């Protein structure tokens, strides 16, 4: 747990250790709610409008009304970031179904609850960011969209939690999750990119990939830099045969992959030339895509 963090909850900002939710909140009881992970870089909230749009879409998909609207959420995020008073931060914006009766019936919840956390985050040690991650293909599969749509960032992340747990128990840094057809969906909490002959390929959302904000940024950068990029179904063998593989996510940013299931990716550990170029361009990209607070 971060030593210092701020939380907006029930209309006010408090120190993180003072934040409380009732035990009858359906977000806690049933994972009934949605969330966004958002980054702050140099005092600016990165792609805030895109995050709020995705959150609003996810909330609508599960029939959850945001009581303050998108404009109210924006103010909450900016106020929380300002209160945290650090130039760089991780923001976790959460909307739960709210308090209700025991039982899964969501109609017993009278009002959704909004929570916004501002803290620090470091998903991987520095040496892993330099050398690359060791990932393994885990036994779990991403649920099909007609069972639990992976495009909805709900509070039910048990599939990702168990995938990450399996990877860690097997001595790896991260999990590669396949879908029911055996093709690549994503990592536990990150999108996957493969580089072959100077071109990028990333699985489409229809294969179980979250429409990641960092993923979209990489595709935008690639287009601006003249790097061929496409969304297409990716198999495990496509990753093993790639020149480079990297993961993208709000917390991780862009992280190279060193090995998959014990097999090295590319000629040497560490980011390859395309990954290195994208990391550098992303660092410049974030300077122009933030909302000041």
Active-site residues, by number, are 153
Q: What is the DSSP letter of 14?
A: E
Burial of 41 (0-12, 13-18, 19+ CB in 10 A): middle
Q: What is the DSSP letter of 32?
A: -
Neighbouring CB atoms inside 10 A of 52's CB total 20
Q: What is the DSSP secondary-structure string of 110-121?
A: -S-EEEEEEE--
Containing H/E element for 6?
strand 6-9
Q: Residue 35: left if φ>0, alpha if ψ -120 to 50, beta else—which one?
A: beta
Between the alpha carbon of residue 155 and those of residues 94, 118, 121, the distances in Å are 8, 18, 19
Question: What whole-number distance in Å separates Cα of residue 248 and Cα of residue 221?
Answer: 13
Question: What whole-number distance in Å separates Cα of residue 166 and Cα of residue 172?
Answer: 9
Residue with tokens 């330099």: 130
């Amino acid at each position: 747990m971060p030593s210092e963090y701020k939380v907006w909850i029930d209309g006010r900002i408090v120190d993180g250790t003072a934040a409380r939710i009732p035990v009858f909140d359906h977000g806690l009881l049933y994972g009934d709610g949605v969330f966004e992970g958002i980054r702050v870089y140099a005092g600016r909230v990165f792609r805030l409008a895109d995050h709020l749009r995705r959150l609003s879409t996810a909330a609508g998909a599960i029939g959850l009304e945001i009581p303050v609207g998108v404009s109210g959420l924006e103010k909450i995020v900016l106020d929380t970031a300002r209160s945290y008073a650090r130039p760089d931060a991780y923001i976790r914006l959460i909307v739960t179904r709210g308090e209700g009766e025991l039982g899964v019936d969501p109609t017993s919840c009278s009002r959704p609850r909004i929570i916004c956390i501002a803290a620090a985050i470091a998903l991987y040690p520095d040496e892993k960011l330099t050398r690359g991650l060791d990932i393994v293909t885990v036994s779990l599969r991403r649920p099909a969209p007609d069972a639990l749509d992976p495009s909805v960032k709900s509070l039910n992340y048990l599939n990702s939690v168990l995938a990450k747990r399996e990877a860690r128990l097997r001595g790896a840094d991260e999990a590669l999750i396949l879908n029911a057809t055996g093709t690549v969906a994503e990592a536990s909490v990150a999108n996957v990119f493969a580089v072959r002959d100077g071109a990028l390929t990333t699985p489409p959302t229809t294969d179980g990939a979250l429409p990641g904000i960092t993923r979209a940024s990489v595709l935008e950068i690639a287009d601006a830099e003249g790097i061929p990029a496409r969304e297409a179904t990716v198999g495990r063998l496509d990753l093993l045969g790639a020149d480079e593989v990297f993961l993208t996510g709000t917390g991780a940013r862009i992280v190279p992959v060193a090995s998959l299931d014990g097999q090295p990716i590319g000629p040497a550990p560490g980011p390859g030339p395309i990954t290195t170029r994208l990391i550098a361009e992303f660092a410049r990209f974030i300077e122009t895509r933030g909302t000041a607070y």
